[in-house]
């Protein structure tokens, strides 16, 4: 019965995704994952849909869960690197880049992103060595790669970051607070009187 319910949620999610209703698709995929969280392709789909809706935090979580299900799932690894670059979570991005380079030392995205991190933030080189003890196993920093493709991948990740920033703007808009005045004017200007007046003001607010 649970497997049938799981398939229903997964199929409904796929239908919503086909019609570009990404939020509804994610909701149904999420419901399916609550019944069975071992399907790496399910987490990958959720991550990709989250990327399309600029919900990069959820995308990272989905890809990370996918890698827990299958550490060798390259699409999850490749996309979590892009998402973490865009957030930006550079140090964790470097760790996943290292995982990718271990499997493919010529991985252009990893080499391009890593070079940009170390060029723009020089102290990251030493910080990375402290943070990741197996750093010496990575390909040398001066490893050559296709610069044209590398620049295209950086541009793509930067555009994703811009969309994420725009999507998050409303969460960081500061609302102006009303000016508050003491409801109980001070007469003797003592600490006790000030405390009592502040308590009175607090009660009126809450």
CA distances from 87 to 55, 57, 159, 178 (A): 10, 8, 11, 33
User: Residues in the chain, how many?
Assistant: 206
pLDDT number for residue 196: 81
Task: Show the low-confidence residues of the chain (pLDDT under 70).
Answer: 170-178
pLDDT number for residue 80: 97
pLDDT number for residue 79: 97
123-148: pLDDT as tens digits: 878 888 877 777 777 888 888 999 99
Q: What is the CB neighbour count within 10 angstroms for residue 154?
A: 16
- Please state the domain extents for the chain: 179-206
For helices 124-131 and 108-120, the axis angle rounded to 10 degrees is 120
């Amino acid at each position: 019965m649970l497997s049938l319910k799981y398939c229903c949620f997964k199929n409904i999610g796929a239908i919503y995704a086909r019609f570009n209703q990404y939020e509804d698709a994610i909701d149904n995929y999420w419901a399916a994952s609550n019944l069975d969280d071992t399907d790496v392709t399910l987490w990958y789909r959720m991550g990709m849909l989250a990327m399309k809706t600029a919900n990069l935090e959820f995308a990272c979580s989905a890809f990370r869960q996918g890698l827990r299900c299958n550490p060798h799932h390259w699409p999850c690894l490749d996309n979590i690197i892009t998402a973490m670059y865009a957030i930006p979570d550079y140090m964790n991005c470097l760790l996943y880049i290292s995982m990718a380079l271990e499997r493919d030392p010529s991985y252009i995205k990893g080499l391009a992103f890593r070079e940009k991190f170390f060029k723009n933030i020089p102290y990251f080189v030493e910080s990375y060595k402290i943070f990741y003890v197996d750093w010496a196993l990575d390909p040398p920093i001066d490893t050559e790669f296709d610069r044209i493709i590398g620049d295209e991948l950086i541009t793509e990740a930067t555009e994703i970051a811009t969309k994420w920033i725009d999507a998050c703007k409303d969460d960081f808009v500061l609302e102006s607070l009303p000016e508050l005045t003491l409801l109980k004017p001070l007469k003797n200007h003592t600490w006790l009187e000030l405390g009592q007046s502040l308590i009175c003001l607090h009660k009126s607010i809450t």
